[in-house]
Amino acid sequence: MGKVFWEGSALLAPVPPALVTCGTMEEPNVLTIAWTGIICTRPAMTYISVRPSRYSYGLIRQTGEFAINLTPSRLVKAADFCGVRSGAQVDKFAQCGLHPLPAQRISAPILEECPVALECRVTESRLLGTHELFLAEILGVDVDEQYLDSKGGLNLQQCGLAAYAHGEYFALGRKLGDFGFSVRKRKRSSDRMSK
């Protein structure tokens, strides 16, 4: 079978249905953002793309801060709600049973229910058309202690994270490998036997 060509569109999947918190502890808001990712290691940088018509857009422009909270599968209904309802009309925290917690380095809250939160400060922004891209430095990462191993490492696979693909939500499945497994040399059986 051949390939069918479509004109350019926003079809990259899967993406995270991230719960992005903004505002302040006194006046918090949360919205769902699928257009986010890591763009640099040092300094640790990320981005989010937000429509200027969204209530959260003004809050992020005003404070220059937000947190990207990784969404576990058990919060998919909340993520969907926070993506289709406006904080200008409804208290999404109350509606979804979410609880804001103070962040360490930013004025925006993080979410108690999410296993990982990235505290971000905007370094620049650019209006691209329907969305404004907010480039941000990741100032810190908040991790729920229950997902740390005995050495303090993160067991991200235990967080039960969700994914979003072309209008549908999915639970991440089984592990297929780890970074570098395709080129890693296998141990010889004699090496394994000597241990």
pLDDT one-digit tens code per residue, 62-88:
999 999 999 999 999 999 999 999 999
Contact of 166 with 34, CB cutoff 8 Å: no
CA dihedral 51, 72, 178, 139 (to 10 degrees): 60
H helix and E strand count, the chain: 4, 11
CA dihedral 98, 166, 45, 136 (to 10 degrees): -60
CA distance 131 to 124: 14
Q: In sequence order, which residues have a C-beta less than 8 Å from that of residue 109 and are 6 or more positions away?
A: 21, 23, 24, 25, 28, 67, 100, 101, 102, 103
* 193 pLDDT more than 90: no
pTM summary value: 0.91
The correct CATH number of 18-190 out of 2.60.40.10, 3.40.50.300, 2.30.110.10, 3.40.1130.10 is 2.30.110.10
Mean pLDDT across 15-38: 97
* 190 pLDDT more than 60: no
CA distance 73 to 130: 28
Mean pLDDT across 176-180: 87
* Tally of CB atoms within 10 A around 34: 19
Mean pLDDT across 23-45: 97
| Burial tier of 85 (Cβ tally within 10 Å: 0-12, 13-18, 19+) | middle
